[in-house]
Amino acid sequence: MSPPARPAAARNPRILIVEDEPALLRALQINLRARGYEVAAAPTGREALAEATRQPPDAILLDLGLPDLDGAEVIRELRGWSAAPVIVISGRAGSGDKMGALDAGADDYVIKPFNMAELLARLRAALRHGDHAPDRARFSIGRCEIDLTSHTITRNAGPLPAARPAAGQPATPAAGQPATPSETVHLTPTEWRLLEILLTSAGQLVSSDRLLTEVWGHGFERSTHYLRFHMARLRRKLEDDPPRPRYLLTEPGMGYRYQP
Ligand code: CA
């Protein structure tokens, strides 16, 4: 028995195509759109990671030979926070490349030139598989509920300092003192990537080097001021008491930790 459809299943699956050959990218876009998929495209590994962060895809078609990052590196970075199935599309038929991609976390591997009908069948299979992935995407920081799949953060209604009921009275806000409503918290793409790495390593120290490399790229290992700036912003947006963070902790001289 398949589980009941979740509300999210009502929309068309979103597929991210990562491919630097314009003709192949175009052919894939046309074929996927014709079958009702929502399509996003990225010609480089960095753009793919940024796009996947901005709007998480349901599945990813990934060329291994990209102009900036190696495809396997893109998969490893994605796997830090995304469970979306990845189908590698590669001109490299060597078993080393195939094993490398699968070890990095790819779900399937298709060799160029490929048959479009076969690729679409594999995509459908990957999406079915992805539907049963465990929900490891919900976290909380104080009053904030974070959903990494939908990229939403809700800050729940806070306590009402002046509306505490007297004994025996119903707990309703006093007139003129409305409850703090739940609200949506907005993060920038950079803040999302930082937060995702920390949340998916819950309880573990994440080194500044790793955060800088995964969020800003190689060559930024010494830019620790970027981290301090963006971590301070995350705390202001998410922690109940930002100057005394309880969840997004600094490990001086080493890195940061999300303490659930
Ligand atoms: Ca290529």
Cα–ligand 1 centroid distance for 128 (angstroms): 27
Cα–ligand 1 centroid distance for 52 (angstroms): 19
Chunk the chain into consecutive blocks of 10 residues (it has 260) and report each block's average pLDDT, rounded to whole numbers: 44 93 96 95 95 91 94 89 90 80 87 91 85 66 89 81 49 51 90 91 85 87 92 96 95 90
Cα–ligand 1 centroid distance for 66 (angstroms): 5
Are 96 and 142 in the same domain? no
User: What residues have CB less than 8 Å from 59, skipping those under 6 apart?
Assistant: 13, 15, 16, 84, 85, 86, 87, 123, 126, 127, 130
Q: Model confidence over 119-140: pLDDT tens digits?
A: 999 999 888 876 644 456 788 9
Are 145 and 82 in the same domain? no
Q: Name the one residue in this structure whose structure tokens are 């990218």.
A: 25
Are 142 and 248 in the same domain? yes
Q: Name the one residue in this structure whose structure tokens are 């790793």.
A: 210
Nearest to 15 by CA among 41, 48, 45, 46: 41
Structural domain includes residue 5: no
How many domains are contained in the chain?
A: 2
Q: Which domain holds residue 215?
A: 138-161+180-258
Structural domain includes residue 2: no
Q: Model confidence over 141-184: pLDDT tens digits?
A: 999 999 888 889 999 887 644 444 455 555 554 444 455 678 99
Q: Quickly list DSSP for 151-172.
A: TEEEEPPPP-GGGPPPTTS---
**pTM greater than 0.85 (yes/no):** no
Rg, the chain, Cα only: 22
Distances (CA, A) of 190 to 54, 111, 257: 9, 34, 17
Cα–Cα distance for residue pair 148/79, rounded to 1 Å: 13
Cα–ligand 1 centroid distance for 108 (angstroms): 17
Cα–ligand 1 centroid distance for 69 (angstroms): 11
CB atoms closer than 10 angstroms to residue 30: 11
Cα–ligand 1 centroid distance for 31 (angstroms): 19
Structural domain includes residue 200: yes
- 147 strand-pairing partners: 138, 152
Cα–ligand 1 centroid distance for 89 (angstroms): 9
Cα–Cα distance for residue pair 56/150, rounded to 1 Å: 7
DSSP label at residue 20? S
Are 21 and 125 in the same domain? yes
Are 115 and 52 in the same domain? yes
DSSP label at residue 114? -
Cα–ligand 1 centroid distance for 64 (angstroms): 7
Cα–ligand 1 centroid distance for 20 (angstroms): 5
Structural domain includes residue 125: yes
